[in-house]
Amino acid sequence: MSEQFSFQTRLLHNNQKVDKETGAVSVPIQHASTFHQFDFDQFGTFDYGRSGNPTRAALEETIAELEGGVQGFAFASGMAAISTAFMLLSKGDHVVVTTDVYGGTFRFVTQVLSRLGIEYTFVDMTNLDEIEASIQENTKVIYVETPSNPTMKITNLKEVVALAERYECLTFVDNTFMTPALQRPIELGVDVVLHSATKFIGGHSDVIAGLAVVKDEELGKQLAFLQNSFGSVLGVQDCWLVLRGLKTLHVRMEHSSKAAHQLALWLKEQSAVERVYYPGLEGHSGYDIQKEQADGFGAVLSFELKDKDAVRQFVNNVKVPVFAVSLGAVESILSYPATMSHAAMPSEERQQRGITDGLLRLSVGLESVEDIKNDFSNAFESLAVTK
Ligand SMILES: Cc1ncc(COP(=O)(O)O)c(C=O)c1O
């Protein structure tokens, strides 16, 4: 990819800009499950579709370049990417994980890795001392989500990388909320970047996909082996959808982050709202770190209403966002973490992490901010009426 171009331009002007054979301005979808070998002794780049496919390779190369890594991998879902990466661990190893990690990752760590004899400790990743205290002799991975989900805590990636290097463990970062448009963890020294490409990277609520990018060739070899062994690769139609989504990533992230910032400031002033979580608010404890390590604050925010009844009333009255599991799309998505993203987490664990029954998460899409404010104002008024 042309290094002299900015990220925004490189989304469009990269190795996949035109098909080398036909000039097609769209990556061809190659459905073949197998590839004829022209030479008995010397196989070509592609032999069998699970091990490699040209359309998937186009996506894998693109995401590796955008994240600044050496190799990319496309998986059937974000969870497939995350669980395959965790398979870099072996029985007897230990992993340190962000407390308010995505619910599906929590489920995988606590109910699957534990059965395989891999130990874990959840820590508040905003507290470096707590991370260090949790590191054991067998700790192999520090797993970070920043901003965390849904309480938007910010982890200082450079500090965690330095700590991991000192204790000779790897760092994994789930970069779903930021995308490489806003944050490139590998540039900060992180070893493996993971994505639910179902979210902002795909961007249109029409594909389930996962991506991983590694910092060095050795990790690349290991993950390629695991990707082929597990076989949870992304289908070619879906690879194409993700490649198409990537083309507008910058403009979508720019619009939605700006809108999320405006909404966070506005929500803070609403009497029905008890608390707003958004790293772009100056009072947010991670504001300075986020400003330094990322190019923006992102398009997701969370806010707390009085209780579950208030949430129900509000959700039943808003018209603009869809009320759904997921985030990172052209349409705004309102989610209720307690029964959606964090349903896999036991209630006490959720409460401890601040994921209360009054908490809603909003992923801001491409609608007009004024329309969202008017819509929310009307819904808040309905709360006041029924108080
Ligand atoms: C931060 C984060 N990581 C990972 C995942 C899992 O991704 P997928 O649903 O594509 O398997 C999600 C899904 O919501 C997520 O929000």
- Per-residue pLDDT for the chain (387 aa), expressed as one digit of tens each? 556 899 999 999 999 999 999 999 999 999 999 999 999 999 999 999 999 999 999 999 999 999 999 999 999 999 999 999 999 999 999 999 999 899 899 999 999 999 999 999 999 999 999 999 999 999 999 999 999 989 999 999 999 999 999 999 999 999 999 999 999 999 999 999 999 999 999 999 999 999 999 999 999 999 999 999 999 999 999 999 999 999 999 999 999 999 999 999 999 999 999 999 999 999 999 999 999 999 999 999 999 999 999 999 999 999 999 999 999 999 999 999 999 988 877 888 888 888 999 999 999 999 999 999 999 999 999 887 765
Q: How far apart are CA 179 and CA 201, in angstroms?
A: 7
Give the 3-state secondary structure of residue 74.
Answer: strand
Task: With H, G, I as helix, E, B as strand and everything else as coil, classify residue 48.
Answer: strand
Task: Look up 41 and say whether it is catalytic.
Answer: no
**Ligand 1 geometric centre to CA of 79 (Å):** 6
Structure tokens at 175: 């970069």
Cα separation of 113 and 98, whole Å?
Answer: 16
- Name residue, tokens 């190799």: 71
CB atoms within 10 A of CB 41: 5
- Residue 6, judged by CB atoms within 10 A of its CB (0-12, 13-18, 19+), counts as exposed
Please, what sign has the CA dihedral across residues 358, 361, 367, 370? positive
From 75, 98, 100, 102, mutation site for ligand 1 pocket: most ligand atoms within 8 A of C-beta: 102
CB of 83 shorter than 6 A to ligand 1? no
Distance, CA of 62 to CA of 67 (rounded, Å): 9
DSSP three-state, residue 132: helix
The label of the residue with tokens 């004829």 reads: 36
Query: How far is CA 374 from its chain centroid?
Result: 29
Based on the residue annotation, tell me whether 124 is a catalytic residue of this protein. Answer: no
- The rounded distance, in Å, linking the Cα atoms of 354 and 358 is 10
**50 labelled catalytic:** yes
DSSP H/E element including 122 = strand 119-123
Cα dihedral across residues 203, 207, 208, 211: positive or negative: negative
Question: Would you call the peptide bond into 337 cis, given omega within 30 degrees of 0 as the criterion?
Answer: no
What are the backbone dihedrals phi and psi of residue 192, each rounded to the nearest 5 degrees, phi first?
Answer: -135, 125
Distance CA 364, CA 73 (A): 27
Question: Is the bond preceding residue 150 a cis peptide, omega within 30 degrees?
Answer: yes
Catalytic, out of 50, 107, 275, 373 = 50
Name which of 249, 299, 306 is nearest 279 in CA terms.
Answer: 299
* Local structure of 277: helix, strand or coil: strand
CA of 148 to the centre of ligand 1 (A): 12
Tokens matching residue 320: 């603009």
Exposed (0-12), middle (13-18) or buried (19+): which is 376, by Cβ within 10 Å? buried
Active site residue 174: yes
